[in-house]
Amino acid sequence: MSAQLFPSEVYNQLKYYVYRLIDPRTGQTFYVGKGKVNRVFEHAKNAIDLGDDDELTDKSRTIQEIINAGLDVVHVIHRHGIEDEQTALEVEAALIEAYPGLTNLAGGHDNSERGCAHADQLIRRYKMEPITPKHNLLAISIGRSLEKGRSIYDAVRMFWRISEDRARSADYVLAHRGGIVLDVFIADEWVDSSDERFSRYIPDGHVYNPPRKGFIGRQAPNAILDLYRNTRLPAVKKGAASPIRYLSPQGEFGQ
């Protein structure tokens, strides 16, 4: 891997920037990010420095495969000279939605609430009744999982960084996209991602360390579906990035 860094006279001019990482074997963008100074080059270094006990993300795995092939990650600065981080976040979020199939763990700043949508989706969203929680609810954003062709059930049930005690305290699990509840499930059992019942969903050789959680469950009864399906969740709190939200009759609370 060739060493590459911006000299100070360059990064001082770049200010905040938004970048893409490209796989030279395919020409495909596999990661979008924002940063300052030499942030764009840090991903390759971090992937090389991972220890045997570190979790190997899709991004790190892609970078390691590129390096093992004797090639370098292609670094493209998509927009630079951005004065503030908030603007950089907005540009990054829009770019993430423009490149499906990315290895980004997060879906982009406020993309679940303010991201790409058809006009009729926006009309339905903002005309829908807001949710009125009458139970302890675990709401999970499944937009990116649906893009992978999963069913709503498979998209919502695996795999999450989540407290098992907190997960078990929920009466129902809401699968939502863009803040609109698509379906409601009962989680009969929360188990580790290493459970053999999930083995066919995990790429060969991939290990979540520490294990993430998934559930085995079923669709909620019709009375509960009528109560929550096609309702609108409260707007995301400023700065919140987790795909997981907890709601109860007393209000929303964090992880």
What is the model's pLDDT at position 202? 81
CA distance 138 to 140: 7
How many CA within 13 A on the CB side of residue 28? 12
* Residue 2 forms part of a structural domain: no
- Check residue 205 and report its DSSP letter: T
Which SS3 state, helix, strand or coil, does residue 143 take?
helix
**Would you say residue 107 has pLDDT above 70?**
no
* Residue 180 forms part of a structural domain: yes
* Residue 201 forms part of a structural domain: yes
Which SS3 state, helix, strand or coil, does residue 232 take?
strand
Q: Answer with the residue of higher pLDDT: 189 or 97.
A: 189
**Would you say residue 15 has pLDDT above 90?**
yes
CA distance 194 to 201: 10
What is the model's pLDDT at position 102? 81
Paired tokens of 131:
């949710």
What is the model's pLDDT at position 33? 93
Q: What is the pTM of this model?
A: 0.59
Q: Are residues 208 and 240 in the same domain?
A: yes
Q: Are residues 51 and 88 in the same domain?
A: yes
pLDDT (tens digit, 9 = 90+) per residue, 166-213?
Answer: 999 999 999 998 888 999 999 999 999 888 888 888 877 677 877 899
Per-residue pLDDT band for 1 (boundaries 50, 70, 90) equals very low
Q: Are residues 163 and 233 in the same domain?
A: yes
What is the model's pLDDT at position 239? 57
What is the model's pLDDT at position 121? 67
Q: Are residues 145 and 231 in the same domain?
A: yes
Q: Are residues 54 and 149 in the same domain?
A: no
Region label for 118, one of left (φ > 0), alpha (ψ between -120 and 50) or beta (otherwise): beta
Query: What does the mean pLDDT of the chain come to?
Result: 85
pLDDT (tens digit, 9 = 90+) per residue, 46-89?
Answer: 888 776 555 678 888 899 999 999 999 999 999 999 999 999 99
Name beta bridge partners: 140.
175, 244
Name beta bridge partners: 26.
none
Q: Answer with the residue of higher pLDDT: 152 or 117.
A: 152
What is the model's pLDDT at position 147? 62
Q: Are residues 101 and 123 in the same domain?
A: no
Give the residue numbers spanning the domain of 176: 119-253
Q: Are residues 31 and 94 in the same domain?
A: yes
